[in-house]
């Protein structure tokens, strides 16, 4: 059996599926969004984790199985939502900046759009995580070597497996 985790912007859905991909159990937990000022959207990373724990527990219970019966976990997420956490402890150092957040729009306008498009095929946009990371790093006094950065999937993987992702 597989536990499928879909950690989205407004909630987390978990499914337990069998070899034929039939759904045996489902769990859902809402995720609260925070709007500290216009154009800014944040999540509490620990609340994201709790939503995964709750939805997964509900799906496993609904399937009527023990967690040890799971052969694998699949994980998908809200992609460009950006987190910064302590490398050693895994504790977040700031709220997660949601993919829809526009706080780095001015910074994106300063970047060389033609060069970025030529190198990456993308245009500078606050949707992407690079300027979110820059914004977060500029607002912490912690040494960068003590921090990890990633999108929601990387942080959840660390939480699920107890990994230290360098």
Tell whether 32 is covered by a domain.
Answer: yes
- Number of domains the chain is built from: 1
Can you give the residue range of the structural domain that contains 83? 2-161
The token pair that represents 139 in the structure block: 């607002």
Tell whether 166 is covered by a domain.
Answer: no
Residue ranges of the chain with pLDDT lower than 70? Answer: 163-166
CATH of residue 79? 3.30.420.40
Tell whether 80 is covered by a domain.
Answer: yes
- With tokens 């709220």, the residue in question is 95
Per-residue pLDDT tens over the stretch 83-122: 999 998 999 999 999 999 999 999 999 999 999 999 999 9
CA neighbor of 49 nearest in space, from 83, 86, 7, 81: 7
| Spatial separation of the C-alpha atoms in residues 62 and 60, rounded to whole Å | 5
């Amino acid at each position: 059996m597989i536990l499928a985790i879909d950690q989205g912007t407004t909630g987390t859905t978990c499914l337990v599926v069998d070899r034929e991909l039939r759904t045996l159990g489902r769990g859902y937990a809402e995720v609260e969004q925070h709007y500290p000022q216009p154009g800014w959207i944040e999540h509490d990373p620990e609340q994201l984790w709790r939503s995964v724990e709750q939805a997964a527990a509900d799906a496993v219970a609904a399937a009527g199985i023990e967690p040890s019966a799971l052969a694998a976990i699949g994980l998908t997420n809200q992609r460009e939502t950006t987190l910064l956490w302590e490398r050693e402890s895994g504790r977040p150092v700031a709220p997660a900046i949601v993919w829809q957040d526009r706080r780095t729009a001015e910074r994106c306008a300063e970047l060389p759009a033609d060069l970025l498009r030529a190198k990456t095929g993308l245009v500078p946009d606050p949707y992407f995580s690079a300027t979110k990371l820059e914004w977060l790093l500029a607002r912490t006094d912690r040494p960068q070597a003590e921090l990890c950065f990633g999108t929601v999937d990387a942080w959840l993987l660390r939480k699920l497996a107890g990994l230290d992702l360098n």
